[in-house]
Amino acid sequence: MNPAREALARVADARVALVLVVVLGVAAEFASASSIQLWSFVLVNMLAAQSINILTGIAGQISLGHAGFMSIGAYGSALAMIKLGLPLPLSVPLSTACSAIVGWALSFAVGRVREFYLAMMTLGFGMILYELVREWSSLTGGVAGLSAIPSAALASLSAFGVKLTPARYFQLMLAVCALVIWLLRNFIKSPYGRAFFAIQTSEVAAGSMGIPRAATKRLAYTLSAALMGLAGAFYAHLVGYLGPESFDLNRSVEALVMAIIGGLGTLVGPLLGSLLFTYLPERLQLFAEYQFIVYGALLLLSFILLPRGLAGLFLPRPRYYAATQVTGGAKSEPAAPSSDSEKLLQIDGVSIAFLGLKALDGVSMDVKAGHLLGLIGPNGSGKSTLVNLICGLYRPTGGRILFDGSRVDGLADHRVARLGVIRTFQDPRLIRAFTVRENVLLGAHRLYSSNPASFAFRWRGAMAQEGRFLGEADRVIAQVGLAHVADTPVHELTYGDQRMTELARAVLARPRLVLLDEPAAGLSEAETQRLEAVLKSLKDSGATVVLIDHHMEFLRGLVDEVVVLDSGKAIYRGPMAAMYQDEKVVEAYLGSSVEEAEPAKRSIDA
Amino acid sequence: MTFTLQLIFAGVCVGATYALIAIGLTLTFWSTRTMNFGQGSLLMVAAVAATTLMSAKLSAYAAVPIALLLSTVLMILVERIAIRPLARLGGSMGWVVATLGFGLLLQGIVARFFGSQAIMFPSLVFGPLDFVTIAGIRVSSQYLTVLACCIGLMCVMEIFIRRTRWGRAVRAVAHDAEAAAVAGVPVKRVVVASFAASGALAGLAGILVSQITGTVEPQFGFNLVILGFVAAVFGGMGSIAGALIGGIALGVAEKLAGGFVSTAFGDAMAFAILMAVLAIRPQGLFGRREILKV
């Protein structure tokens, strides 16, 4: 590791950061007015860049209209002081809250679209607010702007009875920013922070772990809008004048550039970005002149040249859970008790069609509690479609699905998962940059009961919960035989290890019903044996398992009974041994008549 | 009444240019599921280039093709450096940001070297005061020319897409690029051609719109592309007729709101329509919902 990386890694350490903050605060007493002005702008820009970072870098939602939130915070706080006569300690939180509420409301609309539609929609949001600020002259002063805002620059600002000089105002902002960063850091490490990363990677996989995508996005928008609103409020009282041109597209772009070049997905990145792009225009006349040309060029090239930003260049990726940090005992809890109802899962005449093509046609079957059911059938027979239906990814066009006696068809996927129905995918869906432990922990999402705030403030209940699941995760990781790679990012692992990671994630969720989509495919002999052991212990713990696989020998040792699907119909159900004698099954596999049934047995066995 | 009719007519003409922009966006969406977020700068570059060349005493017959060539080449560049390497990474964040960056870069360069003030765009065919009277209302000849050009271009596009080999190839790639490649469609060439055509359409739209607005400036085009996107979404990102209907509806709504309330309200309303359409019916009024594949 080179010295620069080491130094920066130290800055990222909480204690060093705290010392730096104190030193900066003291230094403000002696610094020149122009330095303090510049430092203050770094803080405002840093908040704006963190706002983009939370939304785009962590939750994966693009926004090109973030200046809109900034204008809400800025005009909100300025007007609250001027028109309502509120003091600074009230006006700033109030306008921050306003911005957060708008972010929350916006998330309902933008939550319905994804990818570049989202980019366009947020661009439109920014434009609407810009027009609003410009045209609502009676309130905002229109194009002429809003002047005489109580501010540090005009020496007209006070809080708690103290006159705020620029240095005092900077110290106040510094303290607030330090607190905000600390809260963000705790939040990002929490299950809710992990959920942000999960919806960025795959909304389908996130839903399968019980992460509600809409609510998670709402939280991301609300948080991000609050940060941007706070940046705006601080900005208003820093400069004392607001005009609509301060909140046009260029402002949104600036925040984006700082966050992207600094490094999305880390907390240090946006800080680096804001430092760089606050100082450069100030120190380099040439840069100021070509500022927007440079911003354009940076946006154009950054993802190719600096995919992880400056932070990625200088810092190792932050790891949330090194083994040494594990606290709390590995207290193992019994799996959720199975209900008394004999049939845990009932599928009743379920059909689904895609563009007129019937993928499933009146399939009925049930799975007894505590059983291990094999679901087999030729390719395209509808096995994965059935799993997707049970998990709530698709809605059946006909029929009913009951889990533990209550209907689950029509429920959203994360709600089904929260009931304890957990699945794996044919191709493992993991967060590639996360370690094995971080990925496995995602499985526990449905079991956390503390709210996001208690994680941000590190309250005892939340921390105890986190410690408990960390311990449990380590136990499960050991069980699947991945203890030696627990802190390795999964993209560095073999395919087999990735599949085992996904399995461990499912086990940690304490599932009542597990649906495994071809878990043995691509596994080595040794891995297959470990898989068998894990499945047996799952069954012993009381979980019910539905296993899709083509590997007959593997299934034979495990299943209680099998269901055979063919062309969207359930054609056989019963013990595995009798399956080979069934006419329909043989025909489905060989496409031949009964007379030729003898070779079929061998082909299924193969 | 006359006032309303005049507003509606102006809205139809402006809306037709939105539709033209929408088709430029749709073309690349068909071939690659991407679009240039900096398309507005291509409109602007073409208009500024034409103006500059004509003020250098070049005939419009030479200036306009050169301007169109410029926007075409730039769009091919966009595909090469801002889209192709980034679309491969998966997700849309990379290419959205990169194409936006490209647009800002062009905008910055024009602002730096040609000034950020609005410049007069010379009238190509008719003067700004020429008009004809239809059914008792005065109709600006310039607006009429723009409308005729837009509709003519769209008819040509529609025939091209439906009737020619290349049109069929574009549709095949739009439907399923992999299957098209297997069937022997030169997918890469279709993609580049779609970007070239999109760039040319953007340049044409820029020059036509500047006939209506009379001036061009570096920011020119940015809002227009959002409006074009609204029209495209109306049409479900696929049909030329849908884009035309969407564009005209938007143009008329904008002009009526602008005429009876205020111009700024017209703009804000268009953005609000964008958000409402996307939130309520993301697949557009004429489009079909895409199936989630797991």
pLDDT, tens digit, 9 for 90 and up, residues B144-157: 888 888 889 888 88
Element (H, E) at A569: strand A569-574
Question: Is the Cβ pair A204, B272 closer than 8 Å?
Answer: no
**Selected residues 64-83 of chain A with any CB under 8 Å from a CB in chain B:** 64
Interface of A with B in 137-156 (CB under 8 A): none
Any CB–CB contact under 8 A between B269 and chain A?
no
Tell me which of A423 and B286 has the higher pLDDT: A423
- Lowest mean per-residue pLDDT among A177-181, A379-383, B89-93: B89-93
Q: Which residues contact A373 (CB under 8 A, 6 or more apart)?
A: A367, A544, A545, A546, A547, A559, A560, A561, A562, A563
| Contact across the interface for A127 and B85, Cβ inside 8 Å | no
pLDDT, tens digit, 9 for 90 and up, residues B12-39:
988 999 999 999 998 888 888 888 999 9
Hey, of B97, B102, B109, B176, which one would you mutate to test binding to chain A, going by the most A CBs within 10 A of its CB? B97
CA dihedral B183, B189, B195, B197 (to 10 degrees): -90
- Element containing residue A489 per DSSP (H, E): none
Inspect the interface and report whether the beta carbons of B81 and A300 lie closer than 8 Å: yes
Min Cα separation B131/chain A (Å)? 32
Query: Which residues does A407 contact at the CB level (< 8 Å), separation at least 6?
Result: A400, A401
Residue A180: φ, ψ to 5°: -60, -45
From B101, B223, B226, residue closest to A297, measured CB to CB: B101
- Taking all residues of chain B, what is their mean pLDDT, rounded to a whole number? 84
How distant, in Å, are the alpha carbons of A378, A459, B165, B183 from that of B169? 34, 61, 6, 10
Residues B221, B118: contact at Cβ < 8 Å? Answer: no
Residue A316: the pLDDT is 64
Q: Which residues contact A92 (CB under 8 A, 6 or more apart)?
A: A77, A230, A233, A234, A237
CA distance A121 to A127: 10
Q: What is the CA A408 to chain-centroid distance, rounded?
A: 25
> Could you tell me how far CA A327 lies from the centroid of its own chain?
24
* Cβ within 8 Å of A, B 157-196: none
Q: What is the pLDDT of residues A558-586, one digit of tens each?
A: 888 999 988 888 888 888 888 888 888 88
Among A112, A117, A120, which would you mutate to test the B interface (most chain B Cβ atoms within 10 Å of its Cβ)? A120
**Residue with tokens 């199975």, as numbered in its chain:** A338
Amino acid at A49: A
**Cross-chain Cβ contact A354/B291 below 8 Å:** yes
Contacting A residues, span 156-195, partner chain B, CB-CB under 8 Å: none
Give the nearest partner residue to A296 out of B94, B102, B275, using CB atoms. B102
- State residue A318's pLDDT score: 58
* Contact status of B8 with chain A (Cβ, < 8 Å): no
Beta bridge partners of A345: A367, A403
The pLDDT, as a whole number, for residue A340 is 52
Contact assessment for residue A421 and residue A512, using Cβ atoms and an 8 Å cutoff: yes
DSSP sequence for B190-206: HHHHHHHHHHHHHHHHH
Beta-strand pair B119-120/B215-216: antiparallel
Which pLDDT score is estimated for B199?
95
Q: How confident is the model at residue A169 (pLDDT cuts 50, 70, 90)?
A: very high
| Residues A144, A542: Cα–Cα separation, whole Å | 70
Percent of chain B with pLDDT over 90: 20
Q: For B82-87, which contacts have Cβ atoms below 8 Å and span 24 or more sequence positions? A: B82/A300, B82/B36, B83/B32, B83/B34, B83/B36, B85/A304, B86/A303, B86/A304, B87/B32, B87/B33, B87/B34
Which range (A58-67, A244-253, B158-167) has the least confidence? Answer: B158-167
pLDDT, tens digit, 9 for 90 and up, residues A517-567: 988 888 888 888 899 999 988 888 889 999 998 888 888 888 889 999 888
DSSP A346: E
What is chain A's length? 606
Whether A299 and B104 lie within 8 Å, measured CB to CB: yes
Sort out which chain B residues have CB atoms less than 8 A from A491's CB and list them.
none
pLDDT of A73 > 90? The answer is: yes
- B208, two tokens: 């036509």
- Are B278 and A109 a contacting pair at CB < 8 A? yes
- Whether chain A has a CB inside 8 Å of the CB on B267: the answer is yes
A window 542-601, beta carbon within 8 A of B: none
State which H helix or E strand residue B120 sits in: strand B119-120
Of B96, B107, B274, the CB nearest to A116: B96
Please give the C-alpha separations between residue B100 and each of B42, B94, B238, in angstroms, as whole numbers.
12, 10, 22
Superfamily name and number for A343-574: P-loop containing nucleotide triphosphate hydrolases (3.40.50.300)
Q: What is the per-residue pLDDT for B227?
A: 87
Comparing B64-78, B222-236, B271-285, which segment has the lowest mean pLDDT?
Answer: B271-285
- pLDDT for A12: 65
In chain A, how many H helices and how many E strands?
27, 12
**CB interface of A with B, residues 84-143, below 8 Å:** 108-110, 112-113, 115-117, 119-121, 123-125, 127-128, 131-132, 134-135
Per-residue pLDDT tens digits for B254-294: 888 888 887 777 777 878 887 888 788 766 665 555 555 55
The answer to whether the CB atoms of B98 and A303 lie below 8 A apart is yes
Residues of B in contact with A132 (CB under 8 A): 268
- What distances in angstroms separate CA A543 from CA A470, A535, A540, one per listed residue? 21, 9, 7
Task: State whether B92 and A260 contact (CB < 8 Å).
Answer: no
A135 contacts B262? CB cut-off 8 A: yes
User: Collapsing DSSP states into helix, strand and coil, what is residue B126?
Assistant: coil
Mutate to test the interface with B, among A61, A106, A131 (most CBs of B within 10 A): A131
What are the residues whose beta carbons fall under 8 Å from the beta carbon of A478, sequence distance 6 or more?
none
Q: Which residues numbered 246-285 in A keep a CB inside 8 Å of some CB on B?
A: 249, 253, 256, 260
Residues in chain A closer than 8 A to B89 (CB atoms) = 303
Residue A591: pLDDT band (50, 70, 90) is low
Task: Name the residue facing B278 among A64, A121, A128 (closest C-beta).
Answer: A121
Rounded to an integer, what distance in angstroms lies between the CA atom of residue A437 and that of residue A447? 17
Residue B138 dihedral angles phi and psi, to the nearest 5°: -80, 130
User: Would you say how long chain B is, in residues?
Assistant: 294
Provide, as residue numbers in chain B, all residues whose Cβ is less than 8 Å from the Cβ of A291: 108
**What whole-number distance in Å separates Cα of residue B34 and Cα of residue B96?**
8
* Non-local CB neighbours of A320 within 8 Å, separated by 6+ positions: A188, A189, A194, A438
Q: What is the pLDDT of residue A323?
A: 42
Q: Which of residues 21-50 of B touch A (CB under 8 A)?
A: 34-35, 37
Supply the pTM of this predicted model.
Answer: 0.88
Question: Exposed, middle or buried, A503 (CB in 10 Å: 0-12/13-18/19+)?
Answer: buried
pLDDT confidence of residue A215: 93
- Non-local (6+) Cβ contacts of A191 within 8 A are A441, A442, A444, A445, A448, A455, A466
Q: At what angle do helices B39-55 and B60-77 cross, to 10 degrees?
A: 150
Q: Which residues contact A15 (CB under 8 A, 6 or more apart)?
A: none
Name chain A contacts of B98, Cβ cutoff 8 Å: 299-301, 303-304
Kindly list the domain boundaries of chain A, sorted by start residue.
Answer: 3-248, 343-574
Joined together, the tokens standing for residue B96 give 């959205």
Residue with tokens 């073999």: A494
pLDDT at A317: 63
In chain B, residues with a C-beta closer than 8 Å to the C-beta of A301 are 98, 101
Model confidence pLDDT, tens digit, residues B102-115: 999 999 898 888 87
Percent of chain A with pLDDT over 70: 91
Interface A-B, measured as beta-carbon pairs within 8 A, has a size of 135
Contact status, residue A303 vs residue A443, Cβ threshold 8 Å: no
pLDDT at B56: 84
The position carrying tokens 């837009």 is: B150
What is the number of other CB atoms lying within 10 angstroms of the CB of residue A164?
21
Residue B43, CA atoms < 13 Å, CB-side half-sphere: 33
Residues in chain B with CB shorter than 8 Å from the CB of A293 are 104-105, 108-109, 112
Res A49: pLDDT? 96
Q: Which residues of B touch A112 (CB under 8 A)?
A: 278-279, 282
Q: Give B153's contacts (C-beta < 8 A, 6+ positions apart).
A: B20, B201, B204
Are the C-beta atoms of residues A72 and A102 closer than 8 Å to each other? yes
d(CA B167, CA B182): 18
Question: Any CB–CB contact under 8 A between A420 and chain B?
Answer: no
Q: What is the pLDDT of residue B211?
A: 83
- What does the CA dihedral A178, A183, A185, A189 come to, rounded to 10 degrees? 170
Interacting residues of A529 by C-beta distance below 8 A, sequence separation 6+: none
Quick check: B7 contacting A, CB < 8 Å?
no
| Amino acid at the residue B22 | A
